[in-house]
Structure 1
Amino acid sequence: MAIHRLDHVGIVVEDLAAAVAFFVELGLEVEGEATVGGPWADDLLGLDGVRADMVVVRTPDGHGRVELSTFRSPRTTDTAPNVPVHAPGIPRLTFVVDEVEDVVARLRAHGGELVGAIARYEDLCRYCYVRGPENVIIGLVEELH
């Protein structure tokens, strides 16, 4: 048995519009929107009364997709942890960008916070981490040619 491809990464957010704006500012494009619920969603998630709004954004090359969703029901009071970038189990999404400083500046206007500093790795790349909506951590890599 083989894996065919990575289909998408899913992130649950509280403020769907803010999360979409953050990823669109990063350069992803809205692929589609939907509201889901019903018995199949309850079965999938192991919850009762699921009702969620979601937006799928994709990278310009069409190969990477992020599903952003917010739940109308059932409600939860739990939130994503605001832990250091090296904590076990904390996912990071990494994107290759043209100019890392420009992207960081644009994301700051959407609540993005630089985790450390923009670091140069030899003559290969400049790399940093940005904490975005719901404490999602994204990596930004500027390849040096």
Structure 2
Amino acid sequence: MRFDTLRLDHVGIRVTDLAIAEDFYAKLGFTRDPEEFSPEAKACGLVHPTGLRIHLIYNGQPAEEGNVLLDAPVKRPGYTHAAFIIDSMDELVEWLAREDIGISEGPVMMGHGRRNVCFIRDPDLNVLEFNEILAH
């Protein structure tokens, strides 16, 4: 059987505190979707004005060693980050500074100068990547 994948629906991000995470992602433009809030499942759907969706899974326990997928010496399988396309890296970097959100890596050119890439971490150390696609 063959089927076509049409688009990505959402990315699930495990967090320890829903209020803190929701506040952080609100700074990035995400708002709660009341139809995607499930206290029983400890899941809260957020939507961005562009239509991007994330689900905050708020059953995480604080990790003493940082992000267990990225910061531990032994690399375990799992999703390591979500990546977003932006219009201007300069504007993102300026905005991050105003919001006092630290950059964990970048901006740096990747892919033979095709992408300007920057990484940040949310309050639970989940990694978010931002890409400015450059003209050739």
TM-score range, shorter-chain basis? 0.5 to 0.7
Aligned counterparts, 1:10-89, within 5 A: 10-32=12-34, 34-37=37-40, 52=42, 54-62=43-51, 64-71=52-59, 77=61, 79=63, 80-81=67-68, 83-84=70-71, 87=75, 88-89=77-78
Whole-Å separation in 2 of the counterparts to 1:4 and 1:98: 23
Asked if the contact 1:81–1:135 (Cα under 8 Å) also holds between the matched residues in 2, the reply is: no
TM-score by length of 1: 0.65
Assess, with a 3 A threshold, how the Cα gap between structure 1 residues 135 and 58 changes in structure 2: closer, same or farther.
same
Structure 1 residue 102 displacement after superposition = 3.4
Gaps of 5+ in 1: 42-51
Aligned counterparts, 1:91-130, within 5 A: 91-107=80-96, 112-121=101-110, 122-130=112-120
Assess, with a 3 A threshold, how the Cα gap between structure 1 residues 139 and 117 changes in structure 2: closer, same or farther.
same
RMSD: 3.2
Structure 1 residue 139 displacement after superposition = 0.5
Asked if the contact 1:10–1:66 (Cα under 8 Å) also holds between the matched residues in 2, the reply is: yes
Structure 1 residue 91 displacement after superposition = 1.8
TM-score by length of 2: 0.68
The alignment covers a number of residue pairs equal to: 126
Assess, with a 3 A threshold, how the Cα gap between structure 1 residues 101 and 132 changes in structure 2: closer, same or farther.
farther
Structure 1 residue 126 displacement after superposition = 1.0
AA of the residue aligned to 1:113: G
Whole-Å separation in 2 of the counterparts to 1:140 and 1:14: 23
Whole-Å separation in 2 of the counterparts to 1:21 and 1:138: 15
AA of the residue aligned to 1:133: P
SS at match of 1:83: coil
Gaps of 5+ in 2: none
